[in-house]
Chains A and B, each alone.
Chain A
């Protein structure tokens, strides 16, 4: 009896909250966590840890190329987290677009400009006095709101919101098509115009980048100065 009482508690430590979790727990109350769930937890912990480590390393490194490489770590682990959340397309797009294209652009610019070590001032006085407390307050506020809404479960959700969520869940269970099919259905039917406008935006961005980065006459001396330095 004591063990039967202990076993659900062990689950509750890992999933204290979340109304969908409680929902699913009720039929198999005394069952141990299944293999896939444990795997999911382990994968989440590994890649969330990598994410945070990469982000902290980005702050601590003084050379921009090291920061860029740790940002690549962050983005790749975020892709795994997207995969865990069932967003396969976004996971691949994250790797190709962010970890691939954008970060290659960053690394390329760092190398092109021959950016050296930054001189560390660790922020101005205004940043120390206002910025960091403000960031701490922001983080605490976000965490409080998240835990208040997500963490304390269904009781905290408004009744209408909870009903809407169960309706959505049953509807999603009813039509269990692939995520990619749903995504393309919405993207290429309902949101076709914004999608095409995005391509125009990217074209304009490319032209703008070319115009901005084009070498104009008269600023040769600055480049020469850095080359000498």
Chain B
């Protein structure tokens, strides 16, 4: 690990993370498909994970990486439940367009 002497400024990683997060927000706003909106949320989670790993590197703190590990686990659970909800919504509405899914009740 120390063989890879770090000479890329860590700010670049953080800027990449910020850019990915902003792209995720844009996707959340722009996309009209329920599954793609959900994918944008995953993109935002990944962006935050990148900055966690960057700070873990900067501070030599392994707990930052453990945070990422837990975020991954929770994201796995979240995507399983979320996709099940999407399937249930699709069964009830027969559509995936978020414009037409605007009521909580049937």
Q: Interface of A with B (CB < 8 Å)?
A: 14-18, 20-21, 24, 33-34, 36-37, 40-41, 44, 48, 51-52, 55-56, 58-59, 64, 67-68, 71, 74-75, 78, 81-82, 84-90, 93-94, 97-98, 101-102, 105-106, 109-110, 112-113, 115, 118-123, 127, 131-132, 135, 138-139, 142-143, 146-147, 150-151, 165, 168-169, 171-172, 176, 178-179, 182-183, 186-187, 191, 194, 198, 201-202, 204-206, 208-213, 215, 219, 222-223, 225-226, 229
How many A-B residue contacts, CB cutoff 8 Å? Answer: 269
* Cβ–Cβ contact B36 & A67, under 8 A: yes
- Write out the residue numbers on chain A whose beta carbons fall within 8 Å of the beta carbon of B95: 226
- Write out the residue numbers on chain B whose beta carbons fall within 8 Å of the beta carbon of A14: 7-8
A36 in complex: contacting residue of B4, B36, B68, CB < 8 Å? B4
Shortest distance in angstroms between A176's beta carbon and chain B's nearest beta carbon? Answer: 7
Q: Interface of B with A (CB < 8 Å)?
A: 1-16, 18-27, 29-33, 35-36, 38-40, 42-43, 46, 49-50, 53-54, 56-63, 65-66, 68-70, 72-81, 83-88, 90-97, 99
- Write out the residue numbers on chain A whose beta carbons fall within 8 Å of the beta carbon of B46: 74-75, 78, 98
Would you give 30 A-B contacts (Cβ < 8 Å), ordered by A? A15-B9, A18-B11, A20-B6, A20-B58, A40-B4, A52-B23, A55-B23, A58-B39, A58-B40, A64-B36, A68-B35, A78-B50, A81-B50, A82-B50, A86-B57, A90-B53, A106-B35, A113-B35, A115-B35, A118-B31, A118-B36, A118-B97, A123-B29, A127-B29, A135-B25, A142-B22, A146-B14, A186-B63, A213-B88, A226-B95
